[in-house]
Amino acid sequence: MSYCFTLSKALRDHTEALREWSTTECRPYARQADIDKRRPDNWREILDTAPIALGRSDREEPDPLPEFEEGEWVSKLAFYEAINYGDVWVHPTLGGGIGHLVVKSMGTPVQIERWYDPIEAGGSTTGFALTEPGFGSDTSQVTTTATRDGDSWVINGSKMYCTGGAFAEYVVVFATVDKTLGAKGITAFVVPRDTPGFVVAKENEDKLGIRSWTTSELFFDDCAVPLENRLGWGPHGAEGAPGNGQGAALGALAFNRPNMSALGIGLAQASIDVATPILKSRRAGFTPQRWSAIEHDLEAMNAALDRGRRLNYLAQGRVDAGAPSRSLSAAAKGYVPETGERIIRRCMELLGPEGSSKELLLEKWYRDSKIIDIFEGSGQVQRIMMGRSLVGRLAG
C-alpha cells in the first residue's frame, strides 16, 4: 500500500459538513457560553439542527453515526477537530463522559452490565474523579481513602477537575485502600451522585478557559457505597485478579490523547481562518514588506498544523490497526498544543489590539487552548514518555 495523506471522501464529506455546521450554528453561542460558564440553555435545539449524526446520548438521531473505512480512532480525530472548530462548548453536550470507560476496562461483567451498557446505549453522563488538589501528573499520590466498614466502602477526600462531576449519574472515584501499597493500593469506585456524603464543593471551577465545560470540585465526607461498587468486586469481595486501578485509569485516557490534540488543531485553525479574511480586508494598511511577512506567517501556521495532523493520524491509525504505540501517542499529544497556543497568539498580534478584544473569539480560544498542554498528560509527561522510547526509565 502506498502513502495517502487524505481522508476517504466519505469521512471528508462528513467532517466538512460537521465543521460547517459547528461554525454556522454553534459558534454564535460561544461567547455567551463562556460568560455563563455553561452550555447554552437551548443546546438540544442547536444540536437538532445538525445535518449529520453526532452520536448524541440525550436523544435518538435519525441516522446512526456512520462508520468509515479509516476506523474508529482516526475517524474520531477528524470529528474532534471539526466539532471544536466551531467552539469548545459543543462536544461535551454529546454526553458520555469517561467514567463508564473505566468501568468497562476495570469492571466485572456484572458491573459492566449495570454501569457501562446503559450509558453506552444512550444514557446520561458519567464522571471521572482522579485529580486532587495535591497532585496531577503523579497519580500515585491519591490521598482520598476508601475504608472497609462491614458491607461498605467509606470514601473520604477531595477531588478537583472532575469533568461533569456535578451532574453525572455517577462518578468513578479513585481512592487508596491501603496507603502503604502506593500506586498498587489505588482503585476505583462507582459513586452515584445521590450517595450521602457526596458533596459538590464547587459545581464549576473558575477557570482561565473552557469555562463552558463543567469541571467540579468534589468532596467525599464519609461517603459509603456497597462493596460491589468497587470496580472488580462483587457483593462478597474481589472477583478475579486484582486490577491496578491507576493503570486502568490511565489506560482509559491514553487513546483519547490525540483527540485532545485534534481539539487544539481545531481552535488554532479556526483562529487562522477568522484572522485571514480580516487581515486581507485590511491589506491596504500594511506596507508590502509587512504584508509579505503576514502571508509567510499564515503559510507557516497552516503548515505547522498539518504536521500536527499527520502525527495524530499516524498515532491513531496504529490504534485502529490494533498496534497502538505509546510513544506515537505521546508525540501526537506533545507536539501540537503549544504550537496551537502560539498560532492563536500570533493571529491576535497580526490583527493588533483589536485582535485581543472580545469582539473576536481569538482571545477566548487563546484561553481555552491553554488547557490542552496540561490535561490528559501534560506536555512534560508526553516528553518523558517520548524520552523513554529512547532511553528507557532513565527519562524522568
Partner 1 sequence: MINLEPDEEQTEVGALARSIGEKVLYPAARDAEREGAVPKDVWHTVFETGLAMPVPEEHGGGGVPGPLAQLAAAENLAHGDPGIALAALWNGAAAMLIAEHGTPEQLAGLVRLATDPEARSAVAYHEGFGRGPGEYATEVHVEGDTVRVVGRKVGVAFAAVSDPLVVVGRDQVTGDVRAVLLTSADEGVTVDPSPGALALEAAQVGSVTIDARVPVSALVGGPGADGARLASTLQRLRLQTAAAAVGTAQRAVEYAASYATTRIAFGTPIASFQGVTFPLAEALMRIEAARLELVAATVAILDDPSADHEDAVAQAVGYALSVGAQSTRDSVQTLGGHGFIRDHPVELWYRSAATLSALDSDPARGAFQAAL
Q: In the complex, which residues of this chain contact partner 1 (CB under 8 A)?
A: 131, 133-138, 140-141, 160-161, 205-209, 282, 285-287, 289-291, 293-294, 296-297, 300-301, 304, 307, 334-335, 338-339, 341-343, 345-346, 348-359, 363, 366-367, 370-371, 373-375, 378-380, 383-384, 396
Angle at 23 between CA 13 and CA 119, to 5 degrees: 75
Least distance from partner 1 to the Cβ atom of residue 103, Å: 24
DSSP 28-44: GGHHHHHHHTS--TTHH
According to DSSP H, which parts of 52-182 are helical? 72-86, 99-106, 109-111, 117-120
* Positive or negative torsion for Cα 27, 28, 33, 39: negative
The answer for residues whose C-beta is within 8 angstroms of residue 382's C-beta and 6 or more apart is 257, 330, 331, 333, 334
368 vs 6: CA distance, rounded Å? 28
Least distance from partner 1 to the Cβ atom of residue 361, Å: 11
For 314, the grid coordinates are: 499516524
Sequence-separated contacts (24+) of 176-180 with Cβ below 8 Å: 176/142, 176/143, 176/144, 176/145, 176/146, 177/145, 177/146, 177/147, 177/148, 177/153, 179/145
Least distance from partner 1 to the Cβ atom of residue 153, Å: 26
Count of residues in the chain: 396
List the one residue out of 273, 237, 221, 219 whose CA is nearest residue 23.
Answer: 273
Least distance from partner 1 to the Cβ atom of residue 177, Å: 21
Out of 25, 81, 341, 376, pick the active-site residue.
Answer: 376
222 three-state secondary structure: strand
332 vs 80: CA distance, rounded Å? 14
Tell me, yes or no, if 376 is annotated catalytic: yes
Least distance from partner 1 to the Cβ atom of residue 375, Å: 7
Least distance from partner 1 to the Cβ atom of residue 349, Å: 4
For 179, the grid coordinates are: 496507603
Angle at 45 between CA 193 and CA 81, to 5 degrees: 80
353 vs 344: CA distance, rounded Å? 14
Active-site positions? 376
